[in-house]
Amino acid sequence: MKTRCPRCNQGWVFSARIRATNEPVFVCEECEATWIGGKPIAFETFVDMSTLLKAKGLPGKWSDLQVDEE
């Protein structure tokens, strides 16, 4: 089921995995708001994609993710 991003209200939220850790995340295609799998997708719970990935020692780019097929 598609979910509209609660941060920007413009993009869609997609499921993905962090390639290096296989950790599930959800990412907005538009503003790159990110939610760790298991957390509610809400404005209060997002973190910026690059911030999350850099905290894990990664470059913080889309190439760090494997976006799930719809």
Residue in this structure with the two tokens 């990412």, named with its chain if needed: 27
Sequence-distant (6+) residues with CB within 8 A of 21 are 56
Burial class of residue 8 (count of CB atoms within 10 Å of its CB; 0-12, 13-18, 19+): middle
Sequence-distant (6+) residues with CB within 8 A of 22 are none
Domain encompassing residue 60: 3-67
Per residue of the chain (70 residues), what is the pLDDT tens digit?
A: 689 999 999 999 999 999 999 999 999 999 999 999 889 999 999 999 999 999 999 999 999 999 987 6
The whole-angstrom separation of Cα 47 and Cα 41 is 11
pTM listed for this prediction? 0.92
Our count of domains for the chain comes to: 1
